[in-house]
Structure 1
């Protein structure tokens, strides 16, 4: 039986380069639309902060670069309305938020390192994003937002990104870090598309030239439910959660045993201040740890990775000190501002020096914070 003329026309259309290009564009638009609650609405910008790595030579070592990043990057769109709509999936009585601008804004404003906290959705089939028990979106998946990063890198081939992926242990009622989740994550990060966009170098950082247009995986998860071959095939740097000490201002974590490569990390996320300490005291304690680590990065171990987390909270305090207050202060109650404001003069003193990767809450406040960072 011969095919009908309409069927033949459809086959011809599907096989034509023009139609295939249109279909690919439509499919990408659909994925980017699904990613919007986490990634934001895609906007292409060029020049200035969107392409700040252009000024560096290809042979620049990544461990010698200054990389601004954001902590709990996906929380920017989380609100009380989001929390209320998810009652029954995640039982919360507080709002988790550490950012206020979308990922596309972060990218175009110079941010190059992202902290992503993932787990299965409540059906245990799709990888989505959380902060503690806060489910940040039921729509945007890890696959969706990765395509957002891929698209952005295609538009900005001079740049490179760092993605810190961490399993979020206190998640939805029925989520678990079992073999199914780990296999799903492995398949996503080693798919043919991902292999084109993730730097395939393992357990060490190379040059900017090797990493332009690509992503370095900062793997804060184990694949302990899978065969050892899965771990062997995973690219990037491995920071096992079993070795990342909790709430520590001075972590030394070896990520390459053969070459004895060690990362020096400050992750003092909850100051151990006396009970009832006010916000100013909590901010001061966190600022001290962060500033000391930034200065240490400029003076010690020049060929080692330094990774500083300027983010913090102290919700155990009475009254609680939320991430926003710690980062940018609370008006007249904290006259010197938060950690971010206090770090600006510290950064001004480090011109020409390496400070490494620094992760911020509310990175856009004050407005000159990232400007100072990128001018080092």
Structure 2
């Protein structure tokens, strides 16, 4: 069904719609009339870019449903719809005029006259990269189209492998919207209720994830010379083909940081599994055998990005041995996330503020979980994080923190419909749609200026299940895209 298209500029640059064109969709019989990202087809979401662009900026061979470079429009209109950063504009442009099998092409212009175009709807519910019409453009943009709402959200594209390089060294980690994964290494053949991830941590890191949630079981805790830590999820091993070791996963993390020194990774470590090991024993294993080099940040405060680049920032979900309580002038060791309230919708403990409601006993509770996630996004959005030399006095900065942790994960062992993959198939696309359309970043809103917004518009650390499934990284792109207001501040363009 046709309706007026709404456009949201979630980038740090003004963009102006300059040209509207309409086309008949090629292969109309195979082209979904609503295309795009639709809540009605959440579980079928697959990521394939609509606009495959060559190094010269010209479209390559069109995929089914994609317009060829020689396609001719049946309607064309010059317009001048300027959108400032973080502006939502409800246009009077109808998504279709003749019928459902129709493509609407929008051409945007940025400062300096550079232009890009995007087609809606897309043949798949995937994000699409705007096609540059100017050689060597200063910016690249990505769009997600929400078909049910006739809503187009625009993000600034970034290289997910090294997205942190865009930010100043003075930026606290707590200022950044950061993709994370829950039970990060659980990508192996395992019990369906145990497996939480589609791809291994190495692939996660290369596609933008910067928070890893690791659960370990000491193998010989009574032997101070033994460094063996098995990767587990609760009482279960993460693989049915034999134990997987923390050491092997850590080598992949360290190799990634060596290749990408602009990046920082927060690693949350918790003791789980069977046996009689204690938190204190795990603490000493970590101190004596792992987190004892300049590759780790173990101070008990949230670092700036400059302090953390190229390092693993230890977030401990274990109690300290008495020998470590005196570290760092008696302030302890590592970021403190030891003991937040179980199954919490919102709790502050140590260096973190957490949403971790995970007991979804049946499918009806998934909507409750989605709402709790969105509520926590809005808490994070309202925070104004101090950035020395940008928003505070560089000689006497306000301490950063806490880190906002938002767990999208939930499950129920006894109900197959609420195992991690089933919940993620519904929750991840719903959260993506919320971030595109409704997350508070202080824009003017569909109906004109609203109340003045003071926050940074971030989302904190978003801890996900099953990202990267079938190549789908759109949720990660959206999370990274929520850093635009921080970028705008740091680039000196804030107004």
The alignment status of 1:135 with 2:231, answered yes or no, reads no
Structure 2 CA distance for partners of 1:296 and 1:188, relative to 1, 3 Å: same
Equivalence for 1:184: 285
Q: Which has the higher strand share?
A: 2
| Superimposed CA distance per residue, residues 2-58 of structure 1 (whole angstroms, 9 cap, x where no aligned partner) | xxxxxxxxxxxxxxxxxxxxxxxxxxxxxxxxxxxxxxxxxxxxx821111111122
Give the deviation of 1:212 after TM superposition.
Answer: 0.9
1: CA distance, partners of 2:170 / 2:384:
20
Give the deviation of 1:371 after TM superposition.
Answer: 1.5
The alignment status of 1:342 with 2:424, answered yes or no, reads no
Aligned pair partner of 1:297 in 367, 375, 380? 380
User: What does residue range 224-239 of structure 1 map to in structure 2 within 5 Å?
Assistant: 224=321, 228-229=325-326, 235-239=333-337
| Superimposed CA distance per residue, residues 57-99 of structure 1 (whole angstroms, 9 cap, x where no aligned partner) | 222221110110000011111325xxxxxxxxxxxxx651100
Structure 2 CA distance for partners of 1:227 and 1:296, relative to 1, 3 Å: closer
Give the deviation of 1:136 after TM superposition.
Answer: 2.4
The alignment status of 1:68 with 2:169, answered yes or no, reads no
User: What does residue range 54-203 of structure 1 map to in structure 2 within 5 Å?
Assistant: 54-79=165-190, 95-121=193-219, 125=226, 126-136=228-238, 138=242, 140-168=244-272, 171-172=273-274, 174-177=275-278, 180-191=281-292, 195-200=293-298, 202-203=299-300
2: CA distance, partners of 1:178 / 1:209:
30
Equivalence for 1:251: 347
* Gap regions ≥5 residues in structure 2: 1-157, 386-399, 442-455, 483-495
Equivalence for 2:77: none
Contact 1:186 1:234 in 2 (8 A): no
Aligned pair partner of 1:288 in 371, 377, 392? 371
1: CA distance, partners of 2:159 / 2:229:
34
Contact 1:186 1:230 in 2 (8 A): no
Superposition CA RMSD, Å:
2.6
Give the deviation of 1:246 after TM superposition.
Answer: 0.5
The alignment status of 1:363 with 2:467, answered yes or no, reads yes
SS of residue paired to 1:77:
coil
Structure 2 CA distance for partners of 1:371 and 1:313, relative to 1, 3 Å: same
SS of residue paired to 1:283:
helix
Which deviates further from its counterpart, 64-73 or 179-188? 179-188
Give the deviation of 1:300 after TM superposition.
Answer: 4.4
1: CA distance, partners of 2:334 / 2:416:
40
Contact 1:282 1:314 in 2 (8 A): no
1: CA distance, partners of 2:291 / 2:418:
40
Which deviates further from its counterpart, 71-80 or 175-184? 175-184
Q: Which has the higher helix share?
A: 1
Structure 2 CA distance for partners of 1:183 and 1:209, relative to 1, 3 Å: closer
Structure 2 CA distance for partners of 1:95 and 1:300, relative to 1, 3 Å: closer
Structure 2 CA distance for partners of 1:95 and 1:344, relative to 1, 3 Å: closer
2: CA distance, partners of 1:65 / 1:179:
31
Give the deviation of 1:163 after TM superposition.
Answer: 0.1
Give the deviation of 1:374 after TM superposition.
Answer: 1.6
Contact 2:421 2:465 in 1 (8 A): yes
The alignment status of 1:270 with 2:359, answered yes or no, reads yes
SS of residue paired to 1:307:
strand
**Bigger radius of gyration:** 2
Structure 2 CA distance for partners of 1:176 and 1:103, relative to 1, 3 Å: same
2: CA distance, partners of 1:68 / 1:253:
21
Give the deviation of 1:207 after TM superposition.
Answer: 1.5
TM-score, structure 1 as length reference: 0.69
